Amino acid sequence: MPPSCPLRLLRCCGLTLAVAAAVAGCAQGPRRSAASDDPCNPVVGAVIGGAAGALLGGDRHRTQGALLGAGLGALACVAYNYQASQTKTAQQVGDAYRKANQGELPPAPVVTAYRTETTRATAKGGDEVTVRSSIEVVPGAKEPLRELREEFVVVDPKGVERSKIAKTPAPAGSGGGAYVSTLQFTFPKGVPPGEYQVQSRLYVNGAAAKSSAVRIQVARLAAGETGVALLE
């Protein structure tokens, strides 16, 4: 590199090459264990996110940017625990619908209720969060319920989608009914403070039916705690 090349450019180029090397290693590296078969590797995500955060943080905030980026990188590969249970049968939900609609069922399955809520409105890195969904699907008179799918997306304070997961609250051929599902995950330590959203959407037979969202305020860590402050 010519002597006239600015030092800042050298640092940027180095970080860019580091990110590219990490991505290439993930894509082309040899498989050594079952864990390496997972395309979403939290360690690699944190490394790439940290390098990108340092690159964007500039000279003044390079360390803070690296820590924030690492937290967001880990969020992209967060582990989820999803469970669902049926609270009403298809027959019970269908009977209630008939009473309110002149004894008729809809031609195709209809979502009559879908709502999500969270057990906590505020959290910090390292805290577990639970999102609870209440679902009610009326069976169709002509079209069966072939698939019921719930999709969740975690959105950061800047509106960027950071993580996504899709699960099935009801087994195939269930017909319909009422269900309660819970999604649990832990915010990685180091995620930037601000308002995060867990956006959810319910699909019936492949078509979007209803959507909902909860907001969770990730707090700035108090003095003395392990974490990072929001970049100014």
Q: Are 138 and 150 in contact (CB under 8 A)?
A: no
- Domain boundary, last residue among 25, 41, 75: 75
For residue 78, what pLDDT is reported?
Answer: 84
Q: What is the pLDDT of residue 82?
A: 97
Has residue 23 been placed in a domain?
yes
Query: Which single residue is written with the structure tokens 């943080």?
Result: 57
Specify the amino acid at residue 57: G
Both 26 and 94 in one domain: the answer is no
Are 153 and 100 contained in the same domain? yes
Domain boundary, last residue among 19, 40, 75: 75
Q: Are residues 154 and 97 in the same domain?
A: yes
Are both 101 and 40 inside the same structural domain?
Answer: no
**Residues paired with 111 in a beta bridge:** 137
Tell whether 230 is covered by a domain: no
Predicted local distance difference test score (pLDDT) of residue 221 = 60
Mean pLDDT of the chain: 75
Q: What is the pLDDT of residue 68?
A: 44
pLDDT tens digit sequence for 192-226: 899 999 999 999 999 999 999 999 999 876 544 43
Q: How far apart are CA 76 and CA 82, in angstroms?
A: 17
**Domain that includes residue 18, residue range:** 7-75
Question: Do 87 and 66 belong to one domain?
Answer: no
For residue 118, give the CATH number of its domain: 2.60.40.1930
Q: Based on the domain organization, do 40 and 86 belong to the same domain? A: no
Write the pLDDT tens digit of every residue in 155-171.
999 999 999 999 999 98
Residue 57 and residue 92 in one domain: no
Find residue 117's DSSP bridge partners: 132
Q: Which of 75, 100, 135 is the last residue of a domain?
A: 75
The per-residue pLDDT for 132 is: 97
- Whether 69 and 129 map to the same domain: the answer is no
Which conformational region is residue 192 in: left (phi greater than 0), alpha (psi within -120 to 50 degrees), or beta?
Answer: beta
pLDDT digits over 96-152, tens only?
Answer: 999 999 999 999 999 999 999 998 899 988 899 999 999 999 999 999 999 999 999
Residues 218-231 pLDDT 10s: 987 654 443 332 22
| Those residues with Cβ within 8 angstroms of residue 67's Cβ, 6 or more apart along the chain or in another chain | 50, 53, 190, 228
In the three-class reduction of DSSP (H, G, I as helix; E, B as strand; rest coil), residue 167 is classed as strand
